[in-house]
Structure 1
Amino acid sequence: MSARSLSDWLSYIESQHPSEIELGLERGLSVLEKLNLGRPKAKVITVAGTNGKGSTCTMLSQYLTASGYRVGTYTSPHFLRFNERVAIDGLECSDELLVEAFTVIEQVRGDTPLTYFEFSTLAALWVFDRLELDYWVLEVGLGGRLDSVNMVDTDLAVVTSIALDHIDWLGDSIDGIGREKAGIARPGKPLISGVVNPPQSIADVAQEVGSPLLQKHKDFTFSVAQDSWSWQGLGQQFDGLPIPKLPLENAATVIATLLQLDIAVTSERLTDLFREATLVGRFQQVATSPDVFIDVAHNPEAAIQLKQQLDRLGQPVIAVCGMLKDKDISAVMKTLKDSFQAWYLLDLDVPRGAKASELAGYLPEAHQYQDMRQALADACAEATKQNATVVVFGSFVTVSAYLSLQA
């Protein structure tokens, strides 16, 4: 077992459970107990939400690291390397440490079946436990209450946004999804809600659990000027902050979260954070001549955010788009169809991938392709003629396909 490479281990753990997703804490908790991972000495920040989890985790981790703290960050999915999921002070975890983690988990789990995500989460927790860290920043994979990240009691729970997504697992009501995501809250520990127009279920869960609730536009808020923004609430005010590269709504939630920690939160450090913080695949510029941006937007709420970004560009934009068939393709296309002057659609060659022809049902004039390489080449050629920008979006899988071509 110990001689396996990381790629060998990843192939192995993919084969150990018949389902890609099976929510529930019982399996993971039984193995966690065998790993003898008790309550971590580090403070735990757990982040759930339909959109905005990744950027929120990134900004929290970068602020804490820049302030001199040691930080472990667990996120998902990854684009090119599994190591992206487990970061220490902003750097990817080594193959060697991950292999050691998987080896130990395999030795103790016995006949307990684990999903790929459960294996991954346990490995991250084992790695973090081995190191002298001050903070663990944990991103929920799906939902919250029954997600394996919720095996660990959090010191500070964050819900970034609520929208209809993953309805096969979380239900088809905003109120029900809000209840699932707020399920990361713990008694006596703050719950920060960055949700715009939050469902009542978030407040209900906080009251049931006994978690102090702080809500955007109630306990804290923000306002935007032409080229800066201000934050107010919780007895603090920060003015003249630079507009961040990452979504402003999440930046506002990050400030509220940081203020719940026993650390210095200053305008100077916030200014540095918002000038510098970026995240792969979140309206990220990756090329010039022509300009190319990549964005993982894959549901209606994210499509609205992407539309706002496109409107700010103020120039023609061409889409390269691939999506998963279980997403709300109709709503995404309806939101964005008039934001692009041309569409280059591609098949996603994964089990849940939609065909370009399925997407083209909403966009009769679109070009259709079987893979990223030719779709991108043709889109860039057209963008060069039209002095336009190319935006590659629709799924983590789509962005990964782009990045793989550049690797």
Structure 2
Amino acid sequence: MTSSLPATRDLAGWLAYIEALHPASIAMGLERVELVRQRLGLQPQFPIVIVAGTNGKGSTCAMLESIYQAAGYKTGCYTSPHFVRYNERVRLGGVEVEDAVLVEAFEAIEQARGETALTYFEFGTLAAVWSMVAANVDIAILEVGLGGRLDAVNVFSPVCSIVTSIDLDHMDFLGNDRECIGREKAGVFRPGIPAICGDDHPPLSLSSYANDSGADLRLIGHAFSFKRQASGWLYQSPDHEYALPWPALAGEFQLNNAACVINAVDALLVTLPVTLEHMQQGLQRVALSGRFQICRHQPQVVLDVAHNPHAAGALASNLAQYPVAGRTLAVFSMLGDKDIAGVVQAVAPHIDVWHIARVTHGRGAGVEQLHEYVKAQATDAYVVMHADVKAAYQQACNEAGENDRIIVFGSFFTVADIMRELDMAACEKIATH
């Protein structure tokens, strides 16, 4: 039903309003958002790439955005969640959208929706694409929030779809195994368009969905591949071979994401011409917050949003690949509905001291619960409980020597709490070589 308009018509007022608009924070289905999209007359004429997957979505979106910017295109990029400011979710030409643009978009959506209740994410998705239309972008990159088939971004028609990886997460909504989850993520595929998958061992359900829908399925290791080289890596497909630099994002696993990106760029060359130099520049310039992001030295402070076992495995790989002379201290908190045991198990061998706390979110796991999981997986670990994440971080800083490392991880909310404490302008990304 319709509600009274926000008390203040600024961005903060609108965000509070749309957050309270729908009784559920997540409501799967496309009918409501599609109805409002039609009422808005929101029919983008620019090419759209949809990016789904359990992990790697943000990295993939960032690399696509960086390459197309290097080629001189005006990009629109929509990702979620945000860390500190809602505006982080929408970038136009690589710059966060202004408050006034979002407010105008929210007002247009509110007028169009009538009595149709939209979730926070649905409202935001429509606002993001509305902003991109208003900005007349050349290409839009839309990150799926959850799943794919029933996610709000899927009301828009892509010219290319990417599924980065398939693992166990959001099982309450997507199913209890990789086959169920793979089918949901494959829902972003469309007949006759490139359907790219960067998972080394994709579930059969993804291939079956792609084949049944008539999509142009492109699996890594089959339709395209990559080879590591001393000075970078080599992208290979039946049509092209490119010598490329390591992406400026930490972790060898990023090559799977990068290969998907290059395959997508390759597929769209007729519509959006890009040179090898643009690809090289884009990969070298890409930056992404909260993914093994180094924000301080002596001691080193690293932020990583790893919040499921697959992402935690990647974090563990990076901790091993980039060792420090001293100890590694963790500032750790997670949501209670995540696989806490799996995350702790993946990272525990690389951590000497754990500082744990409840994250400032309604779904946050209790500190006693976190303590039980950590002690179960790392019986000899030194674990300290704190009132909140900020206190945990401050204590870790007090204890850490100049040769030590502090890794803040477990949730977007955990990282966001510490981002507010740091001078983020001084943060730097670590580049792989």
Q: Above 0.5 in TM-score? A: yes
The offset of 1:273, in angstroms, is 2.2
Q: Which secondary structure does the structure 1 equivalent of 2:303 belong to?
A: strand
What whole-Å deviation, never above 9, does each CA across 1:220-253 have from its counterpart, x for those lacking one? 1112234522221142112252353252221121
Secondary structure of the residue that 2:146 maps to in structure 1? coil
* SS of residue in 1 equivalent to 2:116: coil
- CA drift of 1:306 comes to 0.4
The residue number in structure 2 matching 1:14 is: 19
Q: Deviations over 1:323-359 (max 9, x none)?
A: 0011100111111111111111111121110122211
User: Which residue is 1:250 aligned to?
Assistant: 257
Match of 1:403 in 2: 419
Q: Which residue of 2 aligns with 1:288?
A: 297
**How far off is 1:402 after superposition?**
0.5
1:224 maps to which residue? 228
**d(CA) in 2 for partners of 1:31, 1:194:** 33
Matches of 2:191 and 2:142 in 1, distance apart? 18
Conserved in 2, the CA contact under 8 Å of 1:53 and 1:139? yes
1:106 corresponds, among 103, 106, 110, to 110
| Aligned counterparts of 2:110 and 2:321: Cα–Cα separation in 1 | 50
Question: Does the alignment pair 1:275 with 2:284?
Answer: yes
Shift in Å, 1:11 = 0.3
**Corresponding residue of 2:384:** 367
Q: Is 1:238 the equivalent of 2:245?
A: no
Indicate if the aligned counterparts of 2:164 and 2:257 stay in contact, CA closer than 8 A: yes
Question: Is 1:350 aligned to residue 389 of structure 2?
Answer: no
User: TM-score by structure 2 length?
Assistant: 0.91
Equivalences for residues 85-124 of structure 1 within 5 A = 85-124=89-128
| More divergent stretch after superposition (92-101 vs 219-228) | 219-228
SS in 1 for 2:267: coil
CA contact 2:66–2:285 (8 Å) conserved in 1: no
Count the aligned residue pairs.
405
SS in 2 for 1:361: helix
Structure 2 gap segments, 5+ residues each: 376-381, 424-433
Question: What is the CA distance between 1:149 and its match in structure 2?
Answer: 0.5
Residue of structure 2 equivalent to 1:144: 148
Q: Which position in structure 1 is the counterpart of 2:319? A: 310
How much is the aligned-residue C-alpha RMSD, in angstroms? 1.5
Mapped partners of 1:244, 1:290: distance in 2: 22
- Contact conserved, 1:241 with 1:270, CA < 8 A, in 2? no
For the 8 Å contact 2:67–2:283, the answer to whether it is kept is no
Indicate the larger mover: 324-333 or 364-373.
364-373
Name the CA shift for 1:5/1:189 in 2 (closer, same or farther; >3 Å): same
1:196 alignment partner, SS class: coil
Deviation of 1:372 (Å) = 2.2
Q: Match for residue 427 of structure 2?
A: none
Return the match for 2:213 from 209, 215, 228: 209
Aligned equivalents of 1:227, 1:290: Cα separation in 2: 29
CA contact (8 A) 2:247 2:258 kept: no
Separation in 2 of the partners of 1:81 and 1:10?
11
Judge conservation of contact 2:68–2:278 (CA < 8 Å) in 1.
no
Q: Distance in 2 between matches of 1:69 and 1:298?
A: 33
Alpha-carbon distance in structure 2 between the residues aligned to 1:366 and 1:73: 40
Further displaced range: 182-191 or 237-246: 237-246
Deviation at 1:184, TM superposition (A): 0.7
SS of residue in 1 equivalent to 2:268: coil
Matched residue of 1:154: which SS?
Answer: coil
Secondary structure of 2:27's partner?
coil
C-alpha contact (below 8 Å) 2:46/2:140 kept by paired residues = yes
Note the 1:66-77 alignment, pairs <5 A.
66-77=70-81
Structure 2 residue aligned with 1:336: 347
**How many angstroms apart in 1 are the aligned matches of 2:34 and 2:305?**
31
SS in 2 for 1:367: strand
Cα shift readout 1:13-65 (whole Å, capped 9, x = no counterpart): 01111101001000001111110112x21001000000010110011011111
Quick one: which amino acid aligns to residue 278 of structure 2?
A: R
Alignment of 1:125-204 (within 5 A): 125-204=129-208
Aligned partner letter, 2:295: V
SS, match of residue 108 in structure 1: helix
CA–CA distance in structure 2, aligned partners of residues 399 and 248 of structure 1: 24
Instruction: Check whether the contact 2:30–2:150 (CA below 8 A) recurs between aligned residues.
Output: yes
Q: Which residue type is aligned with residue 143 of structure 1?
A: G
User: Residue 108 of structure 1 aligns to which amino acid in structure 2?
Assistant: A
Alpha-carbon contact 1:229-1:243 (below 8 Å) kept:
no
Per-residue CA deviations over 1:248-272 (Å, capped at 9, x if unaligned) read 2211211111111124444433332
Aligned partners of 2:356 and 2:385 also within 8 Å: yes
C-alpha separation in 2, matches of 1:97 and 1:372: 33
**Equivalent position to 2:398, from 361, 381, 401:** 381
Query: 2:337 is matched with which residue?
Result: 326
Superposed structure 1 runs of 4+ greater than 6 Å apart? none
Deviates more, 1:362-371 or 1:119-128: 362-371
CA distance 1:381–1:225, shift in 2 (3 Å): farther
Gaps of 5+ in 1: none
CA distance in 1, matches of 2:355, 2:9: 41
Shift in Å, 1:311: 0.4
TM-score by length of 1: 0.96
SS at match of 1:378: helix
> Aligned partners of 1:287, 1:116: CA distance in 2, in Å?
34
Given residue 102 of structure 2, which amino acid in structure 1 is its aligned partner? Answer: L
Tell me, in whole angstroms, the C-alpha distance in 1 between the residues paired with 2:86 and 2:157. Answer: 25
Cα distance change on mapping 1:226 and 1:391 into 2, 3 Å:
farther
Q: 1:227 to 1:298 in 2, by over 3 A?
A: farther
**C-alpha separation in 1, matches of 2:398 and 2:227:** 40
Distance in 2 (alpha carbons) for counterparts of 1:68 and 1:265? 9
